[in-house]
Amino acid sequence: MKNIIYPLLLILFASVFTACDDATVTEETEEWIHLFNGENLDGWDIKIAGYELNDNVFNTFRVEDGMLRVSYDDYEEWNDELGHIFYHEPFSHYRIVVEYRFVGEQVAGGPDWGFLNNGIMMHSQPAATLTLDQPLPISFEMQLLHSEGDIVRPNGNLYLPGTQVVLDGELTEEDYFPSASEPYYGEEWVRAEAVVLGDSLVQHILDGEVVIEYSEPRIGGEGPDFYDPDYKEYGEPLTEGHIAFQAETHPTDFRTIKILPLKGCMDPDAANFKSYYVVDDPDTCEY
């Protein structure tokens, strides 16, 4: 699809602004939040299908060499332990950057769809609201999917467990949509990004290029299996939610997980004004 950057998004990548009083150009600091501290899993919740909240079965999610690792070293064989790790704080408008790589072999017993597969789950329901056996959170996913040999597929695809979006002007009925990305191979580090603007625009970005974009995310569609029906309110707009990463049977390393909030104080007279914010939150202003 076309690499379209809406005029609104040009704000996100500007690194300078013109001061009103003296017309000089001053660099403005982007206040990124590093969700992973490189030392431990503080601030994260773990939910693995079939296990209670924060039961990190077989030490699936671990910190090694300053990286967040999805590891299967302690598994003899995979038995449907589909897992996710959730950041505790929800976000609504933001830009997220992840540096990841796939390493080693898929765990014994892993399904074909889990081969070289992980994902960034966005606007996810909280970890504590998943049922015991629920394999996926209600969310929308930027799929991280690599290719090998005769297995060739695009990266940065869209998966919709329990959600719908407007894609190419139409409300989705299916739950999976491939991106316009070229295939990615090997174990090199990859930079994946997404821009999420509440329940309006969402873009998946690889190597600086938009590979798929959509709008108006909402709860709906099929699945996920074993969800709590009291939580799934069909048609409810997804204006915010949690960030989660997957354990889908292939070892994965994450060395960078950072987020740039795009909602905050937009009063130029405030000490914490940022020109790149796209949604005003006056209650956060500091004078």
d(CA 28, CA 130): 40
Q: Is the pLDDT of residue 284 over 80?
A: yes
Q: pLDDT tens for residues 173-197?
A: 999 999 999 999 999 999 999 999 9
Q: pLDDT tens for residues 120-155?
A: 999 999 999 999 999 999 999 999 999 999 999 999
SS3 219: strand
- Ordered structural domains, the chain, with CATH: 39-284 (2.60.120.560)
Q: pLDDT tens for residues 49-73?
A: 999 999 999 999 999 999 999 999 9
Q: Tell me the percentage of the chain whose pLDDT exceeds 70.
A: 90
Q: Is the pLDDT of residue 18 over 70?
A: no
pLDDT of res. 195: 98
d(CA 237, CA 240): 9
pLDDT band at 9 (very low <50, low <70, confident <90, very high): low
